[in-house]
Amino acid sequence: MTVFSPEVRIRPGSGPATLLPSLPPLSVYVHVPWCVRKCPYCDFNSHEAPAELPENEYLDALQADLEQTLPLVWGRQVISVFIGGGTPSLLSAQALDRMLALLRSHLNLLPDAEITLEANPGASEASRFMDFAHSGVNRISLGIQSFNDEALKALGRIHDSQQARQAIEAAMKAVDRVNLDVMYALPGQTPAQSEQDILQAMSYETEHLSLYHLTLEPNTVFAKYPPVLPNDDDSAAMQDRLIELTASRGWNQYEISAYSKRGGHSRHNLNYWEFGDYIGIGPGAHGKLSFHDRIIRTATTRSPAQWMQNAIKRDGSHYAHNARVTPKDLPFEFMLNVLRLKEGVPAQYFQERTGVPLANILPVIKRNIEKGLLASDPVRIRTTDLGWRFLNDLQEAFLPDEGS
Ligand SMILES: C[S@@+](CC[C@H](N)C(=O)[O-])C[C@H]1O[C@@H](n2cnc3c(N)ncnc32)[C@H](O)[C@@H]1O
Ligand code: SF4
């Protein structure tokens, strides 16, 4: 078997060598591209499922995709797996079992690795959650969005609030670790309705909540036919209120949209935000991998059919992108992630994970400490409350200079 190595495609002359003293933790993202129906606000790589999912074809391609990535991560331990989508809960118990067996047989999965599966309450039978848990899933992330039937209808969701509640109960029975995704600033939503949604979400005492401001993404039905959304004042009031409510009930907002209890942060997402490494397999999946002298980013073809066709050729043709990150872009890429975290990261991560000396960005750091956007902390890189409010400006301060 010829194993394609993305290394051979890296263009020479893409900047000076990056020297990493050690490699960061490694995670795995698996993309499942199908949903019952496409939601009008969604720009994820998700496609309406055919009458019968091509599960075997998908898993054969997934195996081929993984096997072509393996030479890049030989021997490394994997701390987490995230099976996202799309709607992975559409997969049969047998398919999910085969997927996890594949990951276990090919990778060095830590015995206590976090294994998350994303689920839609409209595709969430309780028995299937139990089967998923028996296969090794230990965390379920549910796309609740709202507990209000009108809002769910306006969002084009395939489930109502009762199904949302049933799915939460089923998920909490199957696994200890559950996340609920809830969105706010929904079409026609009032601040009081948003508050009700947050109160209900908190009442289940899951260990994690992801609270997202609905955004109008280009190339979605909502971008073409915009619904009537709350005005800026109302959506800012909703955001302030949910921050207040979660804090008053002991939730830890550790990232812009992520809230945890009992130390239940998402280890997988935390690894992204701490500029860790990840393999991305499945259609349209992204990866970031470090080597002692460079960092590469990969992305696979978005079309499920094309990805399946190309992955099994095992010639690398399923990659849409595969290139080294130039060292001049690394400070911005690092800051784009770590500044999202309330507590930031240890300062030494910068050099350890980018290979760029911290001294190179000290003038920018100092300038932003003076502006009150970065904390004056010798051992951590972290924002102040003000910096969090003007996060885009702060992140952009680390963009490479024109012409550098
Ligand atoms: C891949 S989906 C989660 C699982 C499943 N597909 C579902 O929707 O039930 C990830 C989450 O991103 C959030 N999301 C998707 N599109 C969004 C948008 N336009 N604005 C804000 N949040 C969005 C939703 O909360 C959604 O649950
Ligand atoms: S179910 Fe989730 S991934 Fe699928 S279209 Fe809706 S929001 Fe997107």
| pLDDT tens track for 206-222 | 999 999 999 999 999 99
Cα(96) to centroid of ligand 1, in Å? 21
**With bands split at pLDDT 50, 70 and 90, how would you rate the model's confidence at 8?**
very low
**What pLDDT, in 10s, does the model give residues 49-77?**
999 999 999 999 999 999 999 999 999 99
CA separation for the pair 305, 374 (Å, rounded): 46
User: Exposed, middle or buried: residue 273 (CB in 10 Å: 0-12, 13-18, 19+)?
Assistant: buried
User: What is the reported pTM?
Assistant: 0.95
Q: What confidence score (pLDDT) does residue 18 get? A: 62
Rounded to the nearest 5 degrees, what angle is found at the Cα of 226, between the Cα atoms of 220 and 230?
120
**What pLDDT, in 10s, does the model give residues 313-331?**
999 999 999 999 999 999 9
Q: Which amino acid is at 300?
A: T
Whose tokens are 């054969």? That residue is 60
Contact 110, 136 (CB under 8 A): no
Ligand 2 pocket residue status of 87, Cβ below 6 Å: yes
**With bands split at pLDDT 50, 70 and 90, how would you rate the model's confidence at 404?**
low
Beta bridge partners of 289: 296
Calculate mean pLDDT across residues 244-250. 98
Q: What confidence score (pLDDT) does residue 10 get? A: 36
Q: Which amino acid is at 354?
A: T
Say yes or no to pLDDT of 15 above 50: no
Q: What confidence score (pLDDT) does residue 164 get? A: 97
Contact 382, 343 (CB under 8 A): yes
Q: What confidence score (pLDDT) does residue 229 get? A: 97
Rounded to the nearest 5 degrees, what angle is found at the Cα of 334, between the Cα atoms of 77 and 369?
135
Calculate mean pLDDT across residues 131-156. 98
Q: What confidence score (pLDDT) does residue 124 get? A: 81
Q: What confidence score (pLDDT) does residue 3 get? A: 37
User: Which of 35, 43, 141 maximizes ligand 2 atoms within 8 Å of its Cβ, making it the mutation to test the pocket?
Assistant: 35
CA separation for the pair 165, 159 (Å, rounded): 10
Q: Which residues of 204-220 are buried (b: 16+ CB within 10 A; e: fewer)?
A: bebbbbbbeebeeeeeb
Ligand 2 pocket residue status of 46, Cβ below 6 Å: yes
Say yes or no to pLDDT of 4 above 50: no
* Residue 132 in tokens: 């998923």
Residue nearest to atom 2 of ligand 2 (CA): 86
Cβ atoms within 10 Å of 21's Cβ, excluding its own: 10
Contact 82, 268 (CB under 8 A): yes
Say yes or no to pLDDT of 402 above 90: no
Calculate mean pLDDT across residues 332-360. 97
Contacts of 262 (CB under 8 A, 6+ apart): 207
Nearest atom of ligand 1 to the alpha carbon of 216: 19
Closest of 319, 304, 341, 271 to residue 58, by C-alpha: 304
Say yes or no to pLDDT of 12 above 70: no
Cα(39) to centroid of ligand 2, in Å? 5
Ligand 2 pocket residue status of 187, Cβ below 6 Å: no
Q: In angstroms, what is the C-alpha Rg of the chain?
A: 21
Say yes or no to pLDDT of 35 above 70: yes
Calculate mean pLDDT across residues 270-288. 98
**With bands split at pLDDT 50, 70 and 90, how would you rate the model's confidence at 225?**
very high
Contacts of 208 (CB under 8 A, 6+ apart): 141, 177, 178, 179, 180, 258, 259, 260, 261, 264, 265, 266
3-state secondary structure string across 100-162: HHHHHHHCEEEEEEEEEEEECHHHCCHHHHHHHHHHCCCEEEEEEECCCHHHHHHCCCCCCHH
Say yes or no to pLDDT of 46 above 60: yes
Q: What confidence score (pLDDT) does residue 386 get? A: 96
CA separation for the pair 144, 181 (Å, rounded): 5
Mean pLDDT of the chain: 94
Please give the span between the terminal C-alpha atoms of the chain, in angstroms, as a whole number: 42
**With bands split at pLDDT 50, 70 and 90, how would you rate the model's confidence at 167?**
very high
Ligand 1 pocket residue status of 118, Cβ below 6 Å: yes
User: Which of 158, 184, 212 maximizes ligand 1 atoms within 8 Å of its Cβ, making it the mutation to test the pocket?
Assistant: 212
Cβ atoms within 10 Å of 283's Cβ, excluding its own: 28
**With bands split at pLDDT 50, 70 and 90, how would you rate the model's confidence at 26?**
very high
